[in-house]
């Protein structure tokens, strides 16, 4: 179970979770010959398609026996000592949902199977089967694994865009190792985000009990249709307090389709830095709306630049779907395939306008730096600063993208950062940045963040 401390007094626990269900259904007056309402017939129907997942793996643990290595102050005194990388064995458990019985495809969470050396699943009929990872995506926390077996069951999909707060849902999973545990509740909220700013988030919130071990399990409506994949809880103790989250199945299917087609997710890239429009921004820019995503940076030669977007444009729709904030624009673009042409609606000078943009590739952008600079920067993409930023007096290199599972992310880089100095050398463009970053073992970088703060990052 992963624990992420938030600024609020609660903790976010990425748990190995169960499923939640949601639809516009009311409790039935009768089920079969039973005079009283019961979920038992539906549970019997879907349970064979929910699996328990046991994962054996290993993770790098370079300084696992030295607690001082966790402190940056003390760590610098050990940097010259020979490093002997070690591996630490791990065991974890989670849940999964069979969505394609003919091909043996199972949906689960990325965090359930990451670092897996061996995956075993247990079916409802107690069969134990080895599984392989077809593909996994850290950004959405979705993974697809596969088993080779006959007589499998699958769960049909619902349309998660039709969910409403108050719909009844059911979760099935493997909490604390208790196989095929069933809990029930309602949809408590929709479109939740902010659990991990670097990920693609559009969570369904539920009060159906979800606990460690439920991750990757099914969230179902009362018709036995899959509406989500359980992934996280908020809790002080690590156990259920009635606030759980699931990835909407429409979002999970989009990721799965790319994994099955390409073996990976090929995300589209618009090439903008954005922020959410609120009432203050709307008033300052004299906007006719108080929602949308404000463009405050444009990467040269990006899809946005070629489409004619400008600084201070406010994007309010993608392919006809409303964009209420920066997170929704990030999701709308990041869940589309590179090369796809999208229709954008935006406000400029108080008037609505429309353009089409052919999305670039995040993968291609990330490869710009891969292997050519310091290894601690792998997974980040850089560009020269946009002209408007340079003319305002800023100088440096813009971080355009950061892969959430990369070395760059671990070392603290974020998309939108401006690197102004490296090892006390002021830099003004990519050429100068590359000359320093590719030749030094340790980089001390001064970074200007979007919120106006300056940070010092140590790489290496």
Residue with tokens 């979002």: 251
Looking at 242-375, list the stretches that DSSP marks H as alpha helix, in order from N- to C-terminal side: 249-262, 279-284, 303-307, 326-334, 362-367
Helix (H) or strand (E) holding 28: none
Give residues with Cβ within 8 angstroms of 83, minimum separation 6: 62, 63
CB-CB contact of 51 with 180 (8 Å): no
Residue 154 CA neighbour count, 13 Å, CB half = 17
Q: Which one from 18, 92, 95, 111 is the annotated catalytic residue?
A: 111
Tell me the C-alpha to C-alpha distance, in Å, between residue 317 and each of 68, 112, 320, 323: 50, 34, 6, 5
Q: 43 pairs with which residues across the strands?
A: none
Longest dimension (CA), the chain: 79
Q: Which two tokens stand for residue 56?
A: 């054996």
The CA distance from 60 to 58, in Å, is 7
Give residues with Cβ within 8 angstroms of 427, minimum separation 6: 395, 396, 397, 419, 420, 421, 433, 436
Q: Is the dihedral of CA 398, 403, 408, 413 positive or negative?
A: positive
Q: Write the DSSP assignment of 93-127 as a string of letters.
A: EEEEEEEETTTTEEEE-HHHHTTEEEEEEE-TT--
Give residues with Cβ within 8 angstroms of 49, minimum separation 6: 97, 98, 99, 101, 152, 153, 154, 155, 218
180 catalytic? Reply is no
Bridge-based pairing state of the strands 397-402 and 380-384: antiparallel
User: What 3-state DSSP class applies to 277?
Assistant: coil
CB atoms < 10 A from the CB of 404, how many?
19
DSSP 451: T
DSSP 179: T
215 catalytic? Reply is yes
111 catalytic? Reply is yes
Q: Which one from 47, 137, 141, 403 is the annotated catalytic residue?
A: 141
Q: 151 pairs with which residues across the strands?
A: none
User: What 3-state DSSP class applies to 182?
Assistant: strand
Q: Which two tokens stand for residue 332?
A: 């709308």
∠ CA 295-297-302, rounded to 5°:
100
**Ramachandran region, residue 166 (left: φ > 0; alpha: ψ -120 to 50; beta: rest):** left
Q: Which two tokens stand for residue 114?
A: 């990451």
Q: Which one from 95, 184, 188, 215 is the annotated catalytic residue?
A: 215
- Catalytic center residues: 111, 141, 215
């Amino acid at each position: 179970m992963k624990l992420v401390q938030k600024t609020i007094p609660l903790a976010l626990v990425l748990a190995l979770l169960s499923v939640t269900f949601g639809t516009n259904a009311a409790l039935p007056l009768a089920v079969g010959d039973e005079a009283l309402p019961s979920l038992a017939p539906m549970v019997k129907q879907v349970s064979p398609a929910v699996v328990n997942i046991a994962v054996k793996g290993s993770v790098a643990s370079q300084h696992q026996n030295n607690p001082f290595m966790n402190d940056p102050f003390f760590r610098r005194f050990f940097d010259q000592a020979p490093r002997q990388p070690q591996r630490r064995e791990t065991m974890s458990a989670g849940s999964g949902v069979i969505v394609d019985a003919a091909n043996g495809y199972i949906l689960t969470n990325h965090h359930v199977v990451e670092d897996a050396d061996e995956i075993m699943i247990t079916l409802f009929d107690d069969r134990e089967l080895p599984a392989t990872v077809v593909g996994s995506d850290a950004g959405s926390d979705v993974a697809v694994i596969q088993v080779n077996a006959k007589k499998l069951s699958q769960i049909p999909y619902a349309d998660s865009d039709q969910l409403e707060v108050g719909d009844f849902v059911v979760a099935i999973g493997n909490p604390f190792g208790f196989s095929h545990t069933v809990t029930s509740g309602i949809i408590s909220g929709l479109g939740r985000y902010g659990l991990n700013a670097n990920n693609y988030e559009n969570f369904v919130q539920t009060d159906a009990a979800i606990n460690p071990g439920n991750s990757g399990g099914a969230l179902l409506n009362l018709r036995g249709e899959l509406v989500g994949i359980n992934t996280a809880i908020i809790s002080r103790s690590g156990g259920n307090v009635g606030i759980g989250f699931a990835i909407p199945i429409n979002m999970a299917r989009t990721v799965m389709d790319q994994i099955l087609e390409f073996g990976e997710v090929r995300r589209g890239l618009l090439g903008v830095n954005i922020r959410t429009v609120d009432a203050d921004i709307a008033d300052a820019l004299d906007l006719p709306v108080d929602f949308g995503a404000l463009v405050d940076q444009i990467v040269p030669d990006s899809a946005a630049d070629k489409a004619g977007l400008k600084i201070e444009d406010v994007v309010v729709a993608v392919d006809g779907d409303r964009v209420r904030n920066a997170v929704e624009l990030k999701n709308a673009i990041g869940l589309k395939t590179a090369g796809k042409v999208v229709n954008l609606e935006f406000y400029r000078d108080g008037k609505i306008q429309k353009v089409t943009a052919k999305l670039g590739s995040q993968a291609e952008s990330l490869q710009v730096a891969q292997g050519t600079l310091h290894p601690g920067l792998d997974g980040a993409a850089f560009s020269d600063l946009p002209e408007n930023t340079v003319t305002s007096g800023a100088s440096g290199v813009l971080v355009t993208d950061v892969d959430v599972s990369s070395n760059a992310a671990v070392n603290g880089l974020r998309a939108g950062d401006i690197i102004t100095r490296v090892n006390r050398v002021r830099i003004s463009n990519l050429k100068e940045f590359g000359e320093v970053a590719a030749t030094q073992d340790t980089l001390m970088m001064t970074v200007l963040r979007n919120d106006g703060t300056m940070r010092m990052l140590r790489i290496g």
